[in-house]
Amino acid sequence: MHIVDGALSAPVLVGGTLLAAAGIVRGARDLNLERIPSAGLLSAAFFVASLVHVPIGPSSVHLILNGLAGLVLGWISFPALFVGLLLQALFFGFGGLTVLGVNTLDIALPAVIVGLLCRPGVRSANAALAAFWGGIAGALAIALTALMVAAVLALSGDAFIPAAKLVVIAHVPVMLIEGLLCAAAVTLVRKVKPELFGMPADASAVGLRAAEVRS
Amino acid sequence: MNQVSKIQRRRRLLLCLALICLPMVMNAAWAHKVLLGLWPDGSDIEGELGFSNGDMAAPGTLVEVLGPDGEPIGETRVTEEGLFRFTPTRSVPHTFRANLGAGHVAKASLPMDEMPKIRDSGTPSGDAASVESQAVVPVSAERPADAPTLDPTALEMLIAEAVRREVKPLRRELSALKEKIGFQQVLGGLGYIAGISGLLFFVYARRS
């Protein structure tokens, strides 16, 4: 999922970097003392998840966990995932420093979109429904990321349809795995720490206190 | 209520255990970076193209050859086992570039001092090589008459071939080792994230 140095044209790199910087600034505005720990935790989870490889066919793909990040962090996904990507580039040599902005955009923007779309569903009083939405969030974030990678490659000269096909097909197994993982994580978080989704601490009082907590 | 908190505690414990076990499972995992290796082979340049997880590039994959200023010199295609071969016609540093699709790009250069001697091109380096081999011939003539006569250049090529064959698994292992992600790197990265979070706490606490 990481695009490496030298694969993209200069305008794409500059554009991606500027958009990613805007996203990071937007995310930093949302950040506050209460949300730093969850941002750090998801940043660490993202950093480590890239090492979990799923071997498929001739290649292998790795977990990304941006759906979960989007659900918990919203716009803060941008700074959190940027830190994770920066450290991956420095420590593991994944991606590269010049493509850091584009990679951040490819991974964090789907997280934000998924967060906006699926967060209400995850907050649902029905646990099964919430898990379903969690699964959708995990899978959708990967699909959007794959499409963005294909689009970025297309802007740099690769033909979009074959590139998109290749990237999306390669990520279908990850979509399934991330969907299941995200559904499980949502179920767990709802039981252990529902505040992460902006829900009241006592899960049994969701219906009564949801409005109060949201404000 | 007590039972619920017990279940919660057990769940938290399981989560912690899972998080702790994760890095151990992952140690065997590889990144799918593209590796491109080059070496001189006689008067050719031979190279190997593959992914860092040990898979080789598919036969027919295009490899572009670029000159010192990035101008295209030629191209070649991967044959079997991720190997490709290019016969240089100019004695300049050659850069090889391959695009395996989906953002997998690899680039590697062969510097001047590793370039193979160019054959049949009349360049000074080619002449020097032939002069040298002629000069060696009288020495080989001093050998016992019953020893099989072997052209020194042919011998040199045989030795080079044998060494390359012997070194091949070593080279693979070395590139695999270079790509291996150690436990220290994972811990280092996590440490940085903890540090950044701490720094942010400091900044935000001062601001409020």
Domain that holds residue A173: 10-214
Domain count, chain B: 2
Residue B74 inside a domain? The answer is yes
Please report the ipTM that was assigned to this predicted complex: 0.76
- Considering the domain architecture, whether residues B82 and B119 belong to the same structural domain is answered as yes
Could you give the CA distance from residue B189 to residue B174 in angstroms, rounded to a whole number? 24
For residue A199, give Cα distances in angstroms to A41, A125, A190, A205.
Answer: 19, 10, 8, 9
The phi-psi region of residue A95 (left if phi > 0; otherwise alpha if psi is between -120 and 50; otherwise beta) is left
- Considering the domain architecture, whether residues B121 and B46 belong to the same structural domain is answered as yes
Helix (H, G, I), strand (E, B) or coil at A38: helix
What pLDDT does A23 receive?
A: 93
Domain count, chain A: 1
pLDDT by residue (tens digit) across A168-177? Answer: 777 787 888 8
Mean pLDDT over each residue of chain A, to the nearest integer:
82
Instruction: Phi first, then psi: give them for residue A9, nearest 5 degrees.
Output: -85, 160
Cβ atoms of A54 and A1 closer than 8 Å? no
Residue B10 inside a domain? The answer is no
What pLDDT does A163 receive?
A: 66
The larger pLDDT score, comparing residue B10 to residue B95, is at B95
- Considering the domain architecture, whether residues B36 and B83 belong to the same structural domain is answered as yes
Residue B19 inside a domain? The answer is no
Asked if pLDDT for residue A78 goes beyond 90, the answer is yes
Helix (H, G, I), strand (E, B) or coil at B51: strand
Asked if pLDDT for residue B132 goes beyond 50, the answer is no
Residue where one domain finishes, among candidates B130, B160, B179 = B130
Query: Rg of chain A's alpha carbons, rounded to an integer?
Result: 17
When pLDDT is cut at 50, 70 and 90, the band that residue B25 belongs to is very low
Q: Does B11 touch chain A (CB under 8 A)?
A: yes
Q: Residue B72's beta-bridge partner residues?
A: B66
CB burial of A29-55 (b: ≥16 within 10 Å; e: otherwise) equals eebeeebbebbbbbbbbbbbbbbbbbe
Q: If 0-12 CB within 10 Å is exposed, 13-18 middle and 19+ buried, where does residue A120 land?
A: exposed
- Considering the domain architecture, whether residues B101 and B158 belong to the same structural domain is answered as no
Q: CB neighbours of A73 closer than 8 A, spacing ≥ 6?
A: A27, A35, A38, A39, A42, A80, A111, A115
Q: Searching chain A, which residue's CA lies closest to the CA of residue B192?
A: A87
CATH for B71: 2.60.40
Q: Does A204 touch chain B (CB under 8 A)?
A: no
Q: How many CB pairs under 8 A join A and B?
A: 119
Residue B141 inside a domain? The answer is no
Residue B45 inside a domain? The answer is yes
Interface of A with B in 2-21 (CB under 8 A): 2-8
Residue A78 inside a domain? The answer is yes
Point out the least confidently predicted range of A63-67, B111-115, B140-144: B140-144
- Considering the domain architecture, whether residues B37 and B115 belong to the same structural domain is answered as yes
Instruction: Phi first, then psi: give them for residue B18, nearest 5 degrees.
Output: -60, -45
Residue count of chain B: 208
Contacts of B195 in chain A (CB under 8 A): none
How far, in whole angstroms, is CA A19 from its chain's centroid?
16
Asked if pLDDT for residue A15 goes beyond 60, the answer is yes
What pLDDT does A57 receive?
A: 52
Q: Which helix (H) or strand (E) holds B62?
A: strand B62-66
For residue A99, give Cα distances in angstroms to A9, A14, A55, A89.
Answer: 10, 9, 25, 10
- Considering the domain architecture, whether residues B34 and B98 belong to the same structural domain is answered as yes
pLDDT by residue (tens digit) across A82-137? Answer: 999 999 888 887 777 888 898 899 899 999 999 998 888 888 888 888 889 899 89
What pLDDT does A83 receive?
A: 92
What pLDDT does A193 receive?
A: 80
When pLDDT is cut at 50, 70 and 90, the band that residue A192 belongs to is confident
Cβ atoms of A181 and A170 closer than 8 Å? no
Rank B5-14, B45-54, B175-184, B186-195 by mean pLDDT and report only the highest.
B186-195
Q: Searching chain B, which residue's CA lies closest to the CA of residue A190?
A: B8
Compare CB distances from A149 to B12, B53, B103 and report the shortest one's residue. Answer: B103
Asked if pLDDT for residue A178 goes beyond 80, the answer is yes
Neighbours of A83 (CB within 10 A): 24
- Considering the domain architecture, whether residues B37 and B121 belong to the same structural domain is answered as yes
Q: Searching chain B, which residue's CA lies closest to the CA of residue A160?
A: B102
Asked if pLDDT for residue B189 goes beyond 70, the answer is yes
Domain that holds residue B60: 29-130
Q: Does A40 touch chain B (CB under 8 A)?
A: yes
- Considering the domain architecture, whether residues B163 and B111 belong to the same structural domain is answered as no
Compare CB distances from A32 to B101, B190, B204 and report the shortest one's residue. Answer: B204
What pLDDT does B98 receive?
A: 78
- Considering the domain architecture, whether residues B118 and B203 belong to the same structural domain is answered as no
The larger pLDDT score, comparing residue A47 to residue B110, is at A47
- Considering the domain architecture, whether residues B124 and B55 belong to the same structural domain is answered as yes
Task: Please give the average per-residue pLDDT across A182-203, as a whole number.
Answer: 79
CATH for A39: 1.10.1760.20
pLDDT by residue (tens digit) across A43-75? Answer: 999 888 887 776 655 455 678 888 999 999 989
Residue B109 inside a domain? The answer is yes
Q: Does A184 touch chain B (CB under 8 A)?
A: no
- Considering the domain architecture, whether residues B97 and B161 belong to the same structural domain is answered as no
Single-letter amino acid, residue B144: P
Rank A114-128, A149-163, B17-31, B166-180 by mean pLDDT and report only the highest.
A114-128
pLDDT by residue (tens digit) across B169-179? Answer: 787 778 777 77
Instruction: Phi first, then psi: give them for residue B166, nearest 5 degrees.
Output: -65, -35
Single-letter amino acid, residue B57: A
Residue matched to tokens 């349809």: A161
Q: What is the 3-state secondary structure (H, E, C) of A51-119?
A: CCEEEECCEEEECCCHHHHHHHHHHHHHHHHHHHHHHHHHHHCCCCCCCHHHHHHHHHHHHHHHHHHHH
What pLDDT does A17 receive?
A: 92
Residue A82 inside a domain? The answer is yes
Interface of B with A in 20-59 (CB under 8 A): 22-23, 25-26, 29-34, 51, 53, 55, 58
Task: Please give the average per-residue pLDDT across A134-159, as a whole number.
Answer: 84
Contacts of B181 in chain A (CB under 8 A): 51, 91-92
Q: How far is B46 from chain A (nearest CA, A)?
A: 23
Q: In what order do the strands lie in the sheet with B44-51?
A: B34-41, B44-51, B83-86
What pLDDT does A76 receive?
A: 92
The larger pLDDT score, comparing residue B25 to residue B168, is at B168
- Considering the domain architecture, whether residues B164 and B106 belong to the same structural domain is answered as no
The larger pLDDT score, comparing residue A23 to residue B3, is at A23
Task: Please give the average per-residue pLDDT across B66-92, as a whole number.
Answer: 77
Residue B101 inside a domain? The answer is yes
Q: What's the half-sphere exposure (Cβ side, CA atoms, 13 Å) at B32? A: 25
Q: Do B55 and A37 touch (CB under 8 A)?
A: no
The CA-CA-CA angle for residues B115, B117, B122, to 5°, reads 130
Q: How far is B111 from chain A (nearest CA, A)?
A: 20
Q: If 0-12 CB within 10 Å is exposed, 13-18 middle and 19+ buried, where does residue B40 land?
A: middle
